[in-house]
Amino acid sequence: MNTAVWRALISGPLFAAPGRSLLAVAAIAIGVALGLAVHLINASAASEFERAARQLAGEADLVVRGGRAGFKEQLYPLIAKMPGVATASPVVELEASLHGRRETLKIIGIDALQAYAIQPQLAATDNGARNALFDADAIRLTASAARELNAGINDMVTFKVGTQPLPLRVVEILPDSSYRQRLGLMDIAAVQWRFERTGMLSRIDLRLAKGTDPHAFRQNLQALLPPGVHAVTPQTDSERGLAITRAYRLNLDMLALIALFTGTFMVFSSQVLALLRRRTHIALLRALGVTRSAVLGWLIVEGALLGGIGSLIGLAGGYLLAGQAMTFAGADLGADYFRNLHAELTVEPLTLLAFLGLGMTFAIIGAALPAWDAARRQPASELHARDDNDALHRPLWIGAGLAAMIAGAVLALLPPMGGLPIAGYGAVALLLIGAVLLMPALTGLMLSPAPLPSSTALALGLAQLKATPRHVAISVAAILVSFSLVVAMLIMVLSFRLSLGQWLDQVLPADLYVRAAVSGETATLSAAEQLRIAQSAGVASISFSRFQSLLIKADQTPLTLIARDLPVEDVHNSLPLVNAPLTIAPGAPPAAWISEIAAALFEWETGQVIALPLGGAEHPFTVAGIWRDYSRQNGAVLIDRRVYRKLTDDHSANDAAIRLTAGATPSEAERSLRAALPSAATIEIASAADIRKISLGIFDRTFAITWALELAALVVGLFGVSVAFSVQALARRREFGVLRHLGMTRGQISAMLAGEGALTAGVGALCGLAVGTVIGIVLIHVINRQSFHWSMELHMPWPQLLLLFVVTAICAAATAVFSARSVMRADSIAAVREDW
Amino acid sequence: MRYVSRRRLLLAAIAGCCGISGPPVVKAAPERSGIADPRRILQFPRDHGSHPAFRIEWWYLTGWLQDRAARDIGFQITFFRARPQLRPGNPSAFTPEHIIIAHAAIADPVQGRLIHSQKAARAVFDLAGAATDNTGVWLDEWHLTRHGNTYTAKITASELALEMKFAASQPLLLQGVNGYSRKGAAAEAASHYYSIPHLQVSGTLRDSGQPRTVSGKAWLDHEWSSSYLPANAAGWDWIGINLDDGGALMAFRMRQGDTGQPLWSSATLRDAAGTSRTYAADTVRFTALRTWQSPRTGTRYPVAFRVQIGALEIELEPLMDDQENDTRQTTGAVYWEGAVRVSSRGRPIGRGYLELTGYGRPLAL
Amino acid sequence: MLSLSHLHKTYSGPAQRAILQDVSLELVPGDFIAIVGDSGCGKSTLLNLIAGLDLPDSGSVRLQNREITALDDNTRTRIRRRDIGFVFQAFLLLPYLTVLDNAALTLKLNGITHREAQHKAQAALSAVGLSELIHRFPGTLSGGESQRVAVARALAHEPKLVLADEPTGNLDTESADVVLQLLRDRVKAQRSIGILVTHSSDAAATADRIYRLHRGTLHAA
């Protein structure tokens, strides 16, 4: 009996129309593949990051850490002598600028004798390296650093300190098994000397003696620490680093899930249509005595089968995709978050199982809803059903759709949960679901006033669509789901890009920018060099900046401090302020302008007096304004460099913004600058336009992956159209046959189908445009704000949207014709004489 | 030979973490090091202290202890000072002008193998260092300090803890010629070297269990040098014995790399009356009686010896066979350093320490 | 004027089967004939060849003195659209079009203006007695009503040839009589040629002449 039911209900129809099943399988496969790939890449990057942090922390119980400038080394003996300390390992860390290269290399200066007790894998592996352990000219590289620098043993790697080159000899390349990050290891005394960090430490790793209560110890320790220096556990240290990427990773995960959701929707729509076609089969089986639950069961098994096959293909595809994406774009998919990481794809069997389960569950849900509907029907009336008209009079889900939309709107107003825009994502999902539920009603509403075109073929197509809004709604919804997501991302990304462009214009007001190095923190301009730059020909005015990082809270990434030569009256014009700035009253603490991100992370507001740890002491500042900052995710605070110099006695600078005198050309100015500086070759001189171009280039690279996901969503949406039309075409075989008898050419039938496809896509895309715009607004004002704490202006990219609209309609028309092409062959003629 | 063995150990230790023996090419103008001088007369208490001009120096305590149950336990406490070759002019306070290394080990037959611990640190911020006016060498809480005629030592680690007092009962014993000790045929291989035998030990010892009160007898070596070993040496055997009659005996031989034949030998014997005599190379002969193979490293050590020093013939039998000291993790060296019983013609005549190096892999300096 | 001469049709496939063998027939306007035969005798194939939906292996089909078999598919389609009307057993009205639009469909396909098409369709529908139902959808009609709409659709554009394939197969006797009568009347009124394919002798009895198709050959009964 079971086999018979299986053959009658499932395998027969499946093999009769393998294309439909293939498309459903492909949709699930694409969804699972994308979901898995993004998850794998994310998980690999995160686990690599954690692994790296754990490795670096070794067996440390506590890490004492300050901002980038670090803290005075006198703290080290104090801590080392504290009761309860088994090992205290001092570390100097810095991001060293490489001579003549854009990249930087993270250098870790350690006291090997202490560090080995905490990080045994730091131990040198061969005699050459052991002998050079205190060598001030030697550096040990991790394998990935050596690969990237293309350096072998005894090669020289040249760094840049101040404006001078510093060549170091590679004495050892650590195996991949010890550290996968890109790192250079040196003796702590050598780093302090050669990189001009004498007297300063970045961190002290502590291992506590057995029986020491870490909590009590930490409290005693914190009392000893100067402002801006904190003792944290290595877990906090690594979580803190990872937290900054959390929102970005969640973003990608959500995109991947949406791809999977679209896949589910595909299964749902293909099953709905397939079951409509199989109604008489099902009714017959029911009449022959197959129970309702058996029918339901078999149909769900079918969904599970499709989902299982699709998921398995998706797992393989996702794995390959992840591998390729990581090779070409890196573990952060081009977002530049994990610069020093060298992640490898790691796959847990459990993850694969989870995605297999997810794919199957979604497929089963997609199959179960229509199956339940099919099994519920009365076999008696179904047996004699001659066409699908009765389906038109079933209730439309207007109430549910409106409820979902309202709930979505409410969710969009909720604050972040745990620092993440969970409610925002919920809002997007509900808006989508609501729109899908409203589609049958909306489709009817939108099509009914449309006048019949004069072309008979198109008129027939429109008449068919008008008469079957529920069928059409499924195709329309497939387009709506994918199109609205693409529209939302398009609006968000292009709004972001435009805002970024405007922002760059505002923060790059000068003509030329001089930097000690493109990147890294070791390259600086000395006071003498600053003077020479200022006196160089063609320079009308100049503003130097010094960058530092301040550790405000133990569990947060350090804040970037920008100390800039400010003509105070001009600050409010040159900063992209988002609110009305405050004029500091005489006698009040000096002004500090904070970025939006800093305002959100530290909950600071304009007018508030904040304490910044500078030069080993806390100093009060008044928040004078909040500005938009797209470049420093950890938050930034801008202060007057005069104040900074007074408090820290640090007179060096990292870069200079130069306005040229009238008539001076940038190239002349660059020549005279280079002539003024003895080490001119190593200085970076760029125009505002260059920097703008590079910045936008980085932005585009970051969002490259989202385009790939978008494209996939659109393809899955077209699959939806294809499924709907191929199933419809089967059901309409007799209709096509009649039309051929009545004298319609194949071309006319194709035109009719193309018209239906384009119209379907048009309605879907129109609704998608509306829903997508709303989702785009949620992305901009809720999700981005809550994830990254930055604001941007909404910008509707009409030309791109129009292009997308036309392309989608054309694709849908082509898909419709292509899907129905087999039916339009001669056998439709025979279909008119089939007796049902 | 004491010099050689310690030198080798130290080199291994430094190979692991200090690197004083780097290739001579890359170093820029090394400072002039102190050179052992046969004309130099040692002056005390100044020469109990550290000699920073010399590249290496150590204070080395070995001995036998008894707990309240009169069970025999061997122990060893060593403090090294090493001066790596550095490019001069580093203003950093972390510049490792000197490295302090400390080892401690307990040979308790109940455990069946050595319990040991070790540490190393650069002598910065007063966290580790060595005084120059008298014996005073420290590394965190670990230290060896001389007050008057008494030394105190403290070693505290999770594996073991020693807190002991060493009272001198005899005058110090200058090794070689007035404390100038030749190490090989080449004249520059030499050190300044003196010992203090028959130190009276009292204190507490903890290994895995509760702290125990212990007492016994120890031997101190203090030696400093800057020069290198002959290139063809593979390892060496050394003994330092407190004789029951109050006499003291030190002997060593250096073995050749490829043949295992002795390259250089020397011995000093001080009788109970206080008369000491130094024996030249041809009058000292070590003969292995029995070997033991380490189950961990597979190395075979001659743990029992017959040693002839002039007319004296003694036999050495270890407190236990497994006194292999595996310090590869921190120093790169695996060697055998253990408590031995000494007899002559079947009659026990003393107790001391035997050190066997270079039996695993040939020494590569 | 319809002239079939020496039509041969064999279906290739696993079992080669001669469907039609040397079928010849001449009909003039006003003829209303019936072709009867058992299932699988080749009736449908014959209709397909006449309508230009399929091509014979040999022989000729001439409608209005044009050799249909020599024309390409699009030309044949245009001839079908202009000169042929169809009535099917299963009515095959388009469910999403009103009765009026169904009847007007062929007219519109022939490029007649919307207004004129509506007018002619209305006339055709009142000729079959369905003036009241023109704005209904096919799903709400009875079988007899549906087939009368189909007759109106088949004849609205005044074709030279009307092909009715088992038009009463799905109807009760009473409706069948009405539909056959209407069909015959309209064919005669428009001076068309009517070919009624059926296996019902009652239905065949309404025809001027009856032919029997047996094992691929056509005989006058």
| Chain-chain contact of A742 with C78 (C-beta, under 8 angstroms) | no
Where are the alpha helices (H) located in A152-233, listed in sequence order? Answer: 188-194, 214-224
Tell me: pLDDT of B47 over 90: yes
State the CATH number of the domain containing residue C94.
3.40.50.300
pLDDT in tens, C33-54: 999 988 777 888 888 889 888 8
Q: What average pLDDT does range B130-158 have in this prediction?
A: 94
The pLDDT, as a whole number, for residue A836 is 37
Q: What average pLDDT does range A586-611 have in this prediction?
A: 90
Candidates A81, A134, A169; nearest CB to B84: A134
- In percent, the amount of chain A with pLDDT more than 70 equals 84
Cβ–Cβ contact A459 with C under 8 A = yes
* Cα gap A383→B354, rounded to integer Å: 103
Which tokens sit at A461? 């197509």
Residues of A in Cβ contact (< 8 Å) with B21: 131
Residue B79: name the closest of B220, B192, B253 by CA: B220
pLDDT in tens, B232-279: 777 889 999 999 999 999 998 888 876 778 888 889 999 999 999 999
Residue A514: name the closest of A698, A697, A680, A695 by CA: A680
| Chain-chain contact of B125 with A80 (C-beta, under 8 angstroms) | yes
Residue A93: name the closest of A225, A165, A226, A186 by CA: A186
Chain A residue at shortest CA distance from C52: A741
The pLDDT, as a whole number, for residue B1 is 36
For residue A821, count CB atoms less than 10 angstroms from its CB and return exposed for 0-12, middle for 13-18, buried for 19 or more.
middle
| Chain-chain contact of C90 with A835 (C-beta, under 8 angstroms) | yes
Residues of C in Cβ contact (< 8 Å) with A741: 51, 53, 80, 86, 88
* Cα gap A583→A708, rounded to integer Å: 47
| Chain-chain contact of A193 with B90 (C-beta, under 8 angstroms) | yes
pLDDT in tens, A641-656: 999 999 988 888 888 8
Could you tell me which residues are beta bridge partners of residue A92? A109
Chain C residue at shortest CA distance from A390: C139
A188 CA: distance to closest CA in chain B (Å): 7
**Distances in whole angstroms, Cα of residue B211 to Cα of each of A469, B102, B199, B204, B205:** 90, 21, 22, 6, 5
Residues of A in Cβ contact (< 8 Å) with C84: 743
Q: How is chain B split into domains, by residue range? A: 2-20+44-357
Instruction: Report residues of chain C scoring pLDDT below 50.
Output: none
The pLDDT, as a whole number, for residue A385 is 47
Give yes or no for a contact between B303 and B281, defined as CB atoms under 8 angstroms apart.
Answer: no
Mutation target to probe the A interface, by most A beta carbons within 10 A, among B18, B90, B94, B208 is B94
User: How many separate domains does chain C show?
Assistant: 1
Sequence letter at residue B325? N
Residues of chain C in Cβ contact (below 8 Å) with chain A? 44, 48, 51, 53-54, 73-74, 77-78, 80-82, 84, 86, 88-90, 92, 94-97, 101, 105-106, 108-110, 114, 137, 139, 153, 165, 169
Contacts of residue A528, defined as CB under 8 A and 6 or more positions apart, other chains included, come to: none
Residue A68: name the closest of A106, A102, A100 by CA: A106
Which tokens sit at C146? 């549906």
Could you tell me which residues are beta bridge partners of residue B78? B60, B103
- Higher-pLDDT residue of B73 and A750 is B73
Per CATH, the number for B2-20+44-357 is 2.40.370.10
Candidates A735, A743, A833; nearest CB to C94: A735
| Chain-chain contact of B122 with A111 (C-beta, under 8 angstroms) | yes
Could you tell me which residues are beta bridge partners of residue B221? B60, B195
| Chain-chain contact of C94 with A740 (C-beta, under 8 angstroms) | no
Mutation target to probe the B interface, by most B beta carbons within 10 A, among A133, A139, A198, A200 is A133
Neighbouring CB atoms inside 10 A of B227's CB total 21
Sheet architecture: strand order including C209-214: C84-87, C161-165, C193-198, C32-36, C209-214, C217-220
Cβ–Cβ contact A676 with B under 8 A = no
Neighbouring CB atoms inside 10 A of C116's CB total 12
| C56: DSSP letter | -
Given a contact as 3+ CB pairs under 8 Å, which chains touch B?
A: A
The pLDDT, as a whole number, for residue A1 is 44
Tell me: pLDDT of A127 over 70: no
Residues of A in Cβ contact (< 8 Å) with C82: 743
* Cα gap A654→A565, rounded to integer Å: 12
C101 CA: distance to closest CA in chain A (Å): 10
Lowest mean pLDDT of A592-601, A810-819, B244-253, B337-346, name the range.
A810-819
Q: What average pLDDT does range A77-87 have in this prediction?
A: 90
Residues of A in Cβ contact (< 8 Å) with B362: none
Tell me: pLDDT of B6 over 70: no
Q: What is the pTM of this model?
A: 0.68
Mutation target to probe the C interface, by most C beta carbons within 10 A, among A393, A734, A738 is A738
Candidates B87, B94, B330; nearest CB to A188: B94
Candidates A132, A169, A210; nearest CB to B19: A132
Residues of A in Cβ contact (< 8 Å) with B121: 113-114
Where are the alpha helices (H) located in chain C, listed in sequence order? Answer: 43-51, 73-83, 99-109, 114-127, 143-155, 173-190, 201-204
For residue A327, count CB atoms less than 10 angstroms from its CB and return exposed for 0-12, middle for 13-18, buried for 19 or more.
exposed
Q: What is the pLDDT confidence band of residue A713, given thresholds at 50, 70 and 90?
A: confident
Q: What is the pLDDT confidence band of residue A669, given thresholds at 50, 70 and 90?
A: confident
pLDDT in tens, B151-191: 999 999 888 999 999 999 999 999 988 999 888 877 777 88
Q: What is the pLDDT confidence band of residue A2, given thresholds at 50, 70 and 90?
A: low
Which tokens sit at B128? 């580790």
| Chain-chain contact of C89 with A387 (C-beta, under 8 angstroms) | no
CA torsion sign for A146, A149, A151, A155 is negative
Residues of A in Cβ contact (< 8 Å) with B84: 134
Lowest mean pLDDT of A181-195, A295-309, C102-116, name the range.
A295-309
